[in-house]
Amino acid sequence: MAKVFTITVPPKLGRSTKRERASDPRYVDGQRLLVEAMRYLAQSDPVTNRSAIELISEHVRTRFRMSDSPLS
């Protein structure tokens, strides 16, 4: 039978240093570009481009999660 070893880490009781958060323009531009692509496909021919719109939408749902933040 295997043994499990744990290494305890004492909590930091002092004030944590706050990091200045700055937005990443590439993150925002990437999302804007994907939305514009979906909008263009929907305007040109929504029936024919439905699979392409679903593909982009699936990419947005799997790559950009709620926990993602441009400020991190």
Domain range annotation of the chain: 25-63
Instruction: Give every residue of the chain whose pLDDT is below 70, as ranges.
Output: 1-2, 15-21, 63-72
Q: What secondary structure letter does DSSP report for 69?
A: -
Distance of alpha carbon 6 from alpha carbon 20, whole angstroms: 33
Q: What is the pLDDT of residue 48?
A: 93
Tens of pLDDT along 34-45? Answer: 889 989 999 989
Q: What secondary structure letter does DSSP report for 49?
A: T
Q: What is the pLDDT of residue 68?
A: 55
Distance of alpha carbon 27 from alpha carbon 45, whole angstroms: 28
Record the tokens describing residue 4, joined without a space. Answer: 């499990």
Q: What is the pLDDT of residue 69?
A: 56
pTM: 0.53
